[in-house]
Structure 1
């Protein structure tokens, strides 16, 4: 999998850290606060969107009397404690980061999350030192499945797309990596287990856990 690979780029939520479960809880709580029932198709509708794109979607779909910045700030506040106390690295992720570091393979993060939350979680988990580039989809024109975020991280790392390997847990992210011309390894996450077959079809590789790599 790592043959001829010069850089590895990780999605954050559901790939590098076990956090996808909490965003459904936050959406239910957030909408409930404003008397809005949680639509069961919501997660699939917003999959891959940047933090800002998701806020725009919520404001439009639910006709919310809040600004985009107010929605994002409320989400950040709601997620802060969960990231601090309830979100671990995925099993085997630290060993993989150490392997990359020891073998001179650069590492980056390409996430749809907010900058505040990605900085919080990687600081809290003591893994910031392993990454030479950390970018959010709010920094590019289009979120996943567009390739923009992955191409930006590859540019930061000064590595051609065809020498990059992406780890992703959701279909939109896998498509973003493939659209960028990169090899993609799909990662199992309980939150998206219903998509496993499709994820395996789209990706070059599939793993249930990072432990399988060692």
Structure 2
């Protein structure tokens, strides 16, 4: 998997950290306070959108009076403490980051989340020495599945796309990595369990833990 790879680019939520449960709680709490219910298809519909695109979509969907910037500020405030104190790294992440650092493989994060929340995670888990570049989808033209955020991280890492390996947990993110011309490893996550077969169809590799990368027990996905 790591042959000829010079840079690793991680998605954040559900990939580097176990955080997708936070957004279920926040979405329900946010809408309940406004006497609204969370549609069962909402998370699927916003998959891959940037934080800003999600705010625009949500404002229009529910006809909310708040501005897009006000919605982003509310969500950041609701999530910040959980991201700082309650969200753990995914299994094997620390060992994998250490391996990459020791083997001079540069690392970046390409996330649909907000700059405030990704920065809080990096600080809470002391990842500053491992992660060299962070780009959010709000900082590029289009969110996932467009390749923009992955291409920008690769550019800042000074690595050609064909020498980058992406780790992603949802189909829209996997497509973003593939659209960028990069190899993609799908990461198992309880939140996207029902999308497992679609993830396996789109990705090049599949893991349930980063330990599998170091132990060479990851699954190589063969596509016709």
The TM-score range, normalised by the shorter chain, is over 0.9
Across the aligned residues of Structure 1 and Structure 2, the Cα RMSD in angstroms comes to 0.6
Listed as ranges, the gaps of 5+ residues in structure 2 are 215-224
**Matched ranges for 1:117-136 at <5 A:** 117-136=117-136
Say if 2:103 is the partner of 1:72.
Answer: no
Q: Please give the alpha-carbon distance, in whole angstroms, between the structure 2 residues aligned to 1:43 and 1:144.
A: 14
- Give the TM-score of the pair, scaled to structure 2: 0.95
Deviation at 1:72?
0.3
Deviations 1:80-137 (A, max 9, x none): 1111221010010011111100001100000000000000011001112111110100
**Matched ranges for 1:1-214 at <5 A:** 1-214=1-214
Q: Please give the alpha-carbon distance, in whole angstroms, between the structure 2 residues aligned to 1:42 and 1:75.
A: 16
Q: Please give the alpha-carbon distance, in whole angstroms, between the structure 2 residues aligned to 1:129 and 1:102.
A: 12
Q: Please give the alpha-carbon distance, in whole angstroms, between the structure 1 residues aligned to 2:57 and 2:128.
A: 31
Listed as ranges, the gaps of 5+ residues in structure 1 are none
Instruction: Describe the SS at the equivalent of 2:129.
Output: helix
Deviation at 1:34?
1.1
Deviating beyond 6 angstroms after TM superposition, the runs of 4 or more aligned structure 1 residues are none
Identify the range of structure 1 (11-20 vs 32-41) with the bigger mean alpha-carbon deviation.
32-41
- Give the TM-score of the pair, scaled to structure 1: 0.99
Q: Please give the alpha-carbon distance, in whole angstroms, between the structure 2 residues aligned to 1:56 and 1:140.
A: 16
Alignment: residue pair count: 214
Deviations 1:16-35 (A, max 9, x none): 00001111110111111111
Deviation at 1:145?
0.3
Q: Please give the alpha-carbon distance, in whole angstroms, between the structure 2 residues aligned to 1:175 and 1:213.
A: 21
Instruction: Describe the SS at the equivalent of 1:193.
Output: helix
